[in-house]
């Protein structure tokens, strides 16, 4: 069963639960170890499947399209909100999917004006330096990575240095230090530490590098780099082709209306931008972007999947690949095993909780969340939270919450046990 683009379908809006022959299935797909063949075999038990499509580029959400509504309903009733033994025991979250009115119009209405300079975006902590490396240095950097092995993801290739980044848990693998950053980036790392927008007291000490190679038209889903994985400065050098990077910030209260199970929560919907601030910047080749402070912690960054970008009135074709070098410093904390489905229990609402977003393909674009229902409550999309505050929460961790834009919050105890195998590791073994 192939996986063509699903631009005809979209994720349902809040409150939309109209039956249809098409199911939006979250926590399911190649990124979480579930093949299209396996999905086809499970869902075809309920009726003839017309097609299975990637719902987005997460690799963890698919559209299963039946010929008739009854089959979709039967699959929904049997498979929704429970682990599926034939799909690696993934806990499936299913909703009816809706046909897109007009993908072409949606693209136009969803675009935002693109700035050439960071100051116009008015996002504290966001800086862009043009011509950070010379054309010759750019060539040398590209040649260096091209002579090393790439890892293939579904739509792009990556290389990791310092620490490996695990896409399934959106965290660094602290158990596997890959060594120092390679010598071909030494002069860049040195130059970064005297980035003009950093004050003298800021320690940079970057120790992790991810190189991303995006073919023309390939982008990156909206995300905030995992708070617990990386410290507060993220530098990204653009090489080869350009791209547009969009920033999104969710307005106060628009995402987590409350943390009471069973009550309605606002559902993030890519088609509804009314509660989201959006800004976009053009990243030319050889420019260096710095995300710090609010830009790093409170705003999602996102590279739209376009082959053609409009920058002011100019059409910019993404003719070549774009290669980015993203430099970060590992924060030294890793939560592992946190989404073992059977360890989920309902929220009791009386604990300090630490949330980890991007929870292995749960139906969520939610970023990392730190909640404390009695002491303090953070929504990292709308509050400014410093790295230290986040780390303090990790130190006092006694529960983990996975917040999704559906109406539930899942809490798990971090105490290792067969039922709740969640542990917290630190880089230095504490």
81: CB partners within 8 A, 6+ apart = 91, 92, 93, 94
Query: Do the beta carbons of residue 259 and residue 353 sit within 8 Å?
Result: no
Residue 134 CB coordination number (10 Å): 10
Does 212 participate in binding ligand AKG (rule CB under 6 A)? yes
Residue 262 per-residue DSSP state: T
Partner whose footprint covers residue 236, from Fe ion, ligand AKG, none (CB < 5 to 8 Å by kind) = ligand AKG
Query: Do the beta carbons of residue 238 and residue 290 sit within 8 Å?
Result: no
Does 210 participate in binding ligand AKG (rule CB under 6 A)? yes
Separation of alpha carbons 266 and 383, rounded Å: 17
Smallest separation (angstroms) from Fe ion to the CB of 95: 27
Q: What part of residues 227-286 is at the interface with ligand AKG (CB under 6 A)?
A: 236
Smallest separation (angstroms) from Fe ion to the CB of 236: 8
Partner whose footprint covers residue 212, from ligand AKG, Fe ion, none (CB < 5 to 8 Å by kind) = ligand AKG
Q: Count residues contacting ligand AKG (CB under 6 A)?
A: 8
Total residue length of the chain: 430
- Beta strands at 308-311 and 163-166: parallel, antiparallel or unpaired: unpaired
Query: Do the beta carbons of residue 114 and residue 244 sit within 8 Å?
Result: yes
Residue 269 CB coordination number (10 Å): 18
Q: Kindly tell me which of 225 and 246 has the beta carbon lying closer to Fe ion.
A: 225
Strands (E), 79-191: 82-84, 90-96, 98-99, 114-115, 126-129, 151-152, 157-161, 163-166, 171-177
CA angle, 302 then 308 then 312, to 5°: 80
Partner whose footprint covers residue 368, from ligand AKG, Fe ion, none (CB < 5 to 8 Å by kind) = none
Separation of alpha carbons 108 and 212, rounded Å: 27
Smallest separation (angstroms) from Fe ion to the CB of 49: 35
Residue 45 CB coordination number (10 Å): 13
Separation of alpha carbons 259 and 371, rounded Å: 9
Partner whose footprint covers residue 159, from Fe ion, ligand AKG, none (CB < 5 to 8 Å by kind) = none
- Of 33-41, 60-68, 187-195, 224-232, which segment contacts Fe ion by CB under 5 A? 224-232
- Of 50-58, 133-141, 220-228, 264-272, which segment contacts Fe ion by CB under 5 A? 220-228
- Candidate residues 56, 213, 225, 368; the one interacting with ligand AKG per rule CB under 6 A: 225
Q: Kindly tell me which of 1 and 240 has the beta carbon lying closer to ligand AKG.
A: 240
Does 368 participate in binding Fe ion (rule CB under 5 A)? no
Backbone dihedral angles phi then psi of residue 189, each to the nearest 5 degrees: -60, -40
Partner whose footprint covers residue 210, from Fe ion, ligand AKG, none (CB < 5 to 8 Å by kind) = ligand AKG
- Candidate residues 56, 164, 207, 225; the one interacting with Fe ion per rule CB under 5 A: 225
Smallest separation (angstroms) from ligand AKG to the CB of 242: 11
Residue 418 per-residue DSSP state: S
Smallest separation (angstroms) from Fe ion to the CB of 121: 16
Partner whose footprint covers residue 171, from ligand AKG, Fe ion, none (CB < 5 to 8 Å by kind) = none
- Candidate residues 324, 339, 343, 364; the one interacting with ligand AKG per rule CB under 6 A: 324
Smallest separation (angstroms) from Fe ion to the CB of 301: 5
Place of tokens 């889903």: 221
Partner whose footprint covers residue 71, from Fe ion, ligand AKG, none (CB < 5 to 8 Å by kind) = none
Structure tokens of 398? 């006694």
- Candidate residues 286, 296, 301, 410; the one interacting with ligand AKG per rule CB under 6 A: 301
Query: Do the beta carbons of residue 256 and residue 379 sit within 8 Å?
Result: yes
Separation of alpha carbons 368 and 257, rounded Å: 16
- Candidate residues 174, 287, 326, 351; the one interacting with ligand AKG per rule CB under 6 A: 326
Position with the least CB separation from ligand AKG:
324
DSSP annotation string for 345-376: EE--S-SEEEE-SS-TT-S------EEESSS-
Position with the least CB separation from Fe ion:
225
Smallest separation (angstroms) from Fe ion to the CB of 300: 9
- Beta strands at 409-412 and 400-403: parallel, antiparallel or unpaired: antiparallel
Smallest separation (angstroms) from Fe ion to the CB of 378: 20
Partner whose footprint covers residue 61, from Fe ion, ligand AKG, none (CB < 5 to 8 Å by kind) = none
Kindly list the residues in this chain that would bind ligand AKG in the complex (CB under 6 A). 210, 212, 220, 225, 236, 301, 324, 326
Kindly list the residues in this chain that would bind Fe ion in the complex (CB under 5 A). 225
């Amino acid at each position: 069963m192939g996986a063509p683009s699903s631009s005809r379908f979209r994720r349902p809006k809040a409150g939309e639960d109209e039956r249809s022959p098409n199911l939006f299935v979250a926590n399911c797909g190649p990124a979480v170890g579930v093949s299209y063949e396996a999905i086809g075999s499970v869902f075809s038990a309920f009726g003839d499947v017309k097609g299975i499509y990637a719902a987005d580029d997460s690799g963890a959400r698919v559209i299963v399209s039946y010929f008739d509504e009854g089959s979709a309903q039967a699959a929904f009733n049997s498979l929704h909100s429970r682990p599926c033994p034939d799909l690696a025991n993934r806990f499936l979250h299913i909703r009816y999917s809706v046909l897109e009115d007009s993908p072409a119009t949606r693209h136009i209405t969803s675009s935002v004006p693109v700035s050439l300079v960071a100051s116009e975006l008015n996002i504290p902590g966001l800086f862009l330096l043009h011509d950070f490396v010379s054309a010759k240095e750019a060539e040398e950097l590209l040649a260096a990575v091209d002579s090393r092995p790439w890892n293939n993801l579904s739509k792009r290739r990556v290389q990791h240095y310092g620490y490996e980044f695990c896409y399934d848990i959106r965290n660094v693998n602290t158990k596997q230090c890959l060594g120092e950053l390679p010598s071909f980036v030494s002069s860049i790392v040195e130059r970064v530490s005297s980035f003009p927008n950093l004050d003298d007291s800021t320690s940079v000490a970057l120790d992790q590098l991810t190189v991303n190679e995006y073919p023309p038209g390939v982008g990156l889903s909206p995300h905030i780099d995992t708070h617990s994985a990386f410290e507060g400065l993220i530098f990204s050098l653009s090489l080869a082709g350009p791209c547009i990077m969009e920033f999104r910030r969710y307005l106060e209260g628009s995402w987590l209306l409350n943390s009471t199970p069973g009550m309605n929560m606002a559902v993030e919907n890519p088609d509804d931008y009314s509660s989201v601030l959006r800004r976009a910047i053009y990243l030319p080749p050889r420019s260096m972007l710095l995300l710090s402070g609010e830009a790093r912690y409170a705003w999602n960054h996102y590279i739209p999947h376009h082959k053609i970008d409009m920058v002011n009135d100019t059409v910019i074709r993404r003719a070549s690949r774009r290669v980015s070098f993203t430099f970060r410093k590992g924060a030294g904390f890793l939560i592992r095993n946190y989404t073992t489905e059977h360890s989920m229990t309902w929220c009791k609402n009386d604990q300090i909780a630490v949330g980890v977003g991007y929870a292995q393909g749960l139906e969520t674009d939610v970023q990392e969340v730190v909640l404390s229902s009695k002491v303090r409550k953070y929504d990292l999309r709308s509050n400014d939270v410093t790295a230290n505050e986040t780390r303090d929460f990790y130190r006092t961790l006694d529960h983990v919450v996975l917040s999704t834009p559906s109406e539930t919050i899942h809490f798990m105890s971090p105490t290792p046990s067969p039922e709740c195998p969640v542990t917290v590791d630190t880089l230095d073994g504490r």
